[in-house]
């Protein structure tokens, strides 16, 4: 296993080498001091279960799970759980936005990729709950990969969106109004967050910003986002954003497919013929299909999170 390529709130992601396939993988390792935390372990098991059930080229694939015994200091050795995932070369959308933003064509293409991933996960009954630029990877070929289903939930499980210490489940800047109120998230909550993502791609900033999470959450619930004057000549694009960022979920797009269809229709008068008349499958992420057998059998050779692994180095 190689160096750290990403850090999250509870885990680090390392680059690894799969001795069986010979390819590169990403290994998400929970931090040692959290290995005995039942909430952390529950989150990991949930992530493994949910992601293993998703099969879409715009969703990062889960390849393996396990536990590795490490020296745990005064408490003896600790069995630290990990996930082995598809390695995605490229950059996060957050990095691209920090480097100067993206063109309108790319913003639409990336948004369609995200919506394609959400359409698939929502069909499987999985709500992501944390759509944001840091969780969208862009490969060198321009394909989209949605990552980090760590706080996702089954849409049939009415779990609260607030943790035991009342911390928001999700990133406040991209949080839907209902999540900010502590209500249960559904597919329309993901679409609101995707609307925030698209707004930021178009303007270089999220629709709501403040010095603290509570103030941002208040704005999501009570205030309207600043109007994008640069696109005054496109009422259709403005209408897409207004609907995506509606406060009441019944006023938003009711599916990722509906969001994508409206976006493609609005794009026709703004960008080149090829882009503007692209179909739902226009994004690189939506045009490739993964072998169904690999999706259904890729992690069944192991006993979830109870075993150790020697296949990753």
Per-residue pLDDT tens for 262-285? 999 999 877 653 443 333 434 444
Q: What pLDDT was estimated at residue 71?
A: 66
- Separation between Cα atoms, residue 72 and residue 311, nearest integer Å: 22
**Residue ranges per domain, the chain?**
4-88+291-297, 91-287
**What pTM, to 2 d.p., does this model score?**
0.79
Which residue ranges are tagged as binding site? 28
Q: List C-alpha distances in Å: 38 to 46, 67, 262, 309.
A: 12, 15, 43, 22
Average pLDDT over the chain, rounded to an integer: 78
| Top-level class of domain 91-287 | mainly alpha
Contact 246, 221 (CB under 8 A): no
130 is catalytic: yes
Q: What is 4-88+291-297's CATH number?
A: 3.30.200.20
Annotation: binding site for ATP: 28
Q: How many whole angstroms separate alpha carbon 240 and alpha carbon 115?
A: 14
The domains spanning 4-88+291-297 and 91-287 adopt the same CATH topology: no
- pLDDT digits 0-9 by tens, 95-121: 999 998 899 999 999 999 999 999 999
pLDDT, residue 217, reads 93
Q: Which residue of the set 12, 18, 64, 130 is catalytic?
A: 130
């Amino acid at each position: 296993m190689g160096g750290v390529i990403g850090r999250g709130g509870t885990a680090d992601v390392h680059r690894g080498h799969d001795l069986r396939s010979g390819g590169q993988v990403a290994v998400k390792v929970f931090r040692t001091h959290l290995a005995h935390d039942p909430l952390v372990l529950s989150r990991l098991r949930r992530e493994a279960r949910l992601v293993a059930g998703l099969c879409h080229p715009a969703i990062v694939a889960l390849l393996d799970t396990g536990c590795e015994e490490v020296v745990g200091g005064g408490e003896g050795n600790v069995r630290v759980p990990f996930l082995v995932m598809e390695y995605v070369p490229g950059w996060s959308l957050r990095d691209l936005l920090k480097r100067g933003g993206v063109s309108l064509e790319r913003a639409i293409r990336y948004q369609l990729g995200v919506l394609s991933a959400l359409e698939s996960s929502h069909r499987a009954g999985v709500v992501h709950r944390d759509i944001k630029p840091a969780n969208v990877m862009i490969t060198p070929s321009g394909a989209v990969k949605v990552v980090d289903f760590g706080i996702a939930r089954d849409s049939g499980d009415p779990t609260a969106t607030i943790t035991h210490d009342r911390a928001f489940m999700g990133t406040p800047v991209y949080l839907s109004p209902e999540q900010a109120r502590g209500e249960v998230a559904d597919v329309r909550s993901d679409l609101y967050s995707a609307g925030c993502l698209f707004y930021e791609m178009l303007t270089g900033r999220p629709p709501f910003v403040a010095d603290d999470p509570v103030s941002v959450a208040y704005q999501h619930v009570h205030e309207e986002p600043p109007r994008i004057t640069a696109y005054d000549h496109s009422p259709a694009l403005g209408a897409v954003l207004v609907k995506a960022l509606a406060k009441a979920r019944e006023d938003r797009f009711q599916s990722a497919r509906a969001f994508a269809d409206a976006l493609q229709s609005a794009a026709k008068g703004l960008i080149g013929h090829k882009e503007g008349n692209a179909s739902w499958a226009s994004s690189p992420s939506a045009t490739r299909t993964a072998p169904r057998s690999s999706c259904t059998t890729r992690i069944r050779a192991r006993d979830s999170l109870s075993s150790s692994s020697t296949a990753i180095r």
